[in-house]
Amino acid sequence: MLLHFFRWADHLWIAESIRASTWSFALIEVFHLFGLTLLLGTVCVVNLRLFGAGLKSQKLGDVATDAMPFTAAGIIVTMGSGFLLFASEAMKCYASTPFMAKMVMLFAALLFTFFFQRHMTRTDQPSSGAKIAAGISLLLWFGVGLAGRAIAFF
């Protein structure tokens, strides 16, 4: 079933157009990296505040609430451009261990960010569990980025 999805994506007209172009992949990659930078930047700000480092004069809930639209924008840009990049080399991704690792970490990071972390940022005094969660969040998101970079090499 997974193979059928990868083949479908590989044969999309947009995937074929990207492969046929000399500059499309690079341009889409710029947007992908911009979105990832926005996403990781906001995730870092919220997690550093959870750790108690940075923006100490701001309420944790306010920091998380203010960062959320930018986090969402980063996710939308990254995932939209990521799908285009994926489609343009879907069959390569099917055989790529780093791609599969990236997808698992991405799913976990999204769940973690939108379900667990939102709950932990509703208090002004983060617990030690919230600090551990902040570390896990950072590991997951940076793992997504590192696994994504590894796709080109493996």
Please write the tens of the pLDDT for every residue from 137-151: 999 999 999 999 999
Please write the tens of the pLDDT for every residue from 73-84: 999 999 999 999
Six-digit token string for 143: 């793992």
CA Rg, the chain, in Å?
Answer: 17
Give me the pLDDT at residue 87, please: 98
Question: How many C-beta atoms surround the C-beta of residue 118 within 10 A?
Answer: 15
* Predicted confidence (pLDDT) at residue 117 exceeds the cutoff of 80: no
Largest CA distance in the chain: 53
Q: Is 54 left (phi over 0), alpha (psi -120 to 50) or beta?
A: left
When divided into structural domains, the chain yields a total of: 1
* Predicted confidence (pLDDT) at residue 13 exceeds the cutoff of 80: yes
Q: Domain containing 55: what range?
A: 2-150
Give me the pLDDT at residue 133, please: 87
Please write the tens of the pLDDT for every residue from 45-77: 999 998 888 888 889 889 999 999 999 999 999
